[in-house]
Amino acid sequence: MVLLDDFCLVPLIYQLYNQCHTMAPILNDHSLEFISRSPEQTRRVGARLGQLLQGGEVICLQGGLGAGKTVLCQGIGRGWGVAQPLISPTFVLMRQHRRPSGHQMLIHLDFYRLEDPREADGLGLDDWLGHPDVVSVIEWPERAAAVLPEEHLWIQIDTIGEEQRRLLFTAHGPSYHDMLLAFRQATFGV
């Protein structure tokens, strides 16, 4: 039998409290939902995801204005290894980021300002999305759904309070399914 003294119990109770208050139910093997309670918590979750990315992933962030897509992407960039904080590509459609070493690239796309989904064709995205040396993170992906590869990770962010956001991750395709399981394990230990 393991005896826990007060010093052990406090962090354990705190951890259990945090888990109960940040996690909503895991829906099924293909999706995961939880509640973030602050921008930094959203960044930390993004960083966990970023650490798992190997190259070739396409991550779609759907949510209304100010939902937290850029905040989540900043975390993804941090976890993946970009040295500078990511800034929103809203006015330029796409920003490219590299790590201090290595040849891979993270591209951060924002389709909010696309007037017509066909404009996305002109960006030459076929060369980028899913390329093994490129991680792609896309805000407002629904505005250019036709250019998205069939397999991707979709993250829907809903504002449910001033600092509360509901994040729903859905894996499309077997590799994203595996990635979501690894993310769940790394983030929640289950």
Binding site for ligand ATP (CB under 6 A): 36-39, 41-42, 63, 65-71, 88, 90, 112, 139, 163, 165
- Binding to Mg ion by residue 187, rule CB under 5 A? no
Beta strands 165-172 and 31-36: pairing type? antiparallel
Q: Toward Mg ion, which CB reaches closer, 85 or 189?
A: 85
63 binds, among Mg ion, ligand ATP, none (CB under 5 to 8 A by kind): ligand ATP
> Is there binding between residue 175 and Mg ion (CB under 5 A)?
no
Contact between 68 and 76 under an 8 Å Cβ cutoff? The reply is: no
Least separation in angstroms between CB 43 and ligand ATP: 8
CB of 54 to ligand ATP, least distance (A): 25
Dist CA 96 CA 89 (whole Å): 9
Residue 66 C-beta: closest distance to Mg ion, Å? 8
State the number of CA atoms in the 13 A half-sphere of 126 facing the CB. Answer: 4
Instruction: Find the binder of Mg ion among 70, 104, 136, 170 (CB under 5 A).
Output: 70
165 binds Mg ion (CB under 5 A): no
Select from Mg ion, ligand ATP, none the partner in contact with residue 71, using the beta carbon and a kind-dependent cut-off of 5 to 8 Å: ligand ATP
Structure tokens at 126: 């076929």
Quick check: 159 binds Mg ion (CB under 5 A)? no
CA 183 to CA 187: how far, in whole Å? 6
Structure tokens at 113: 């300002």
35 or 181: CB nearest ligand ATP = 35
| Greatest Cα-to-Cα distance within the chain, rounded to the nearest angstrom | 65
| Straight-line distance from the first to the last Cα atom of the chain, in angstroms, rounded to the nearest whole number | 23
Q: Which of 22, 31, 88, 156 binds Mg ion (CB under 5 A)?
A: 88
Which residue's CB is nearer to ligand ATP, number 19 or number 54?
A: 19
Give exposure, 86-111, as e/b (b: 16+ Cβ within 10 Å).
bebbeeebebebeeeeeebbbbbbbb
Q: How many residues does the chain have?
A: 190
CA-CA distance, 58 to 103, in Å (whole number)?
18
2 binds, among Mg ion, ligand ATP, none (CB under 5 to 8 A by kind): none
Q: Which residues bind Mg ion (CB under 5 A)?
A: 69-70, 88, 139
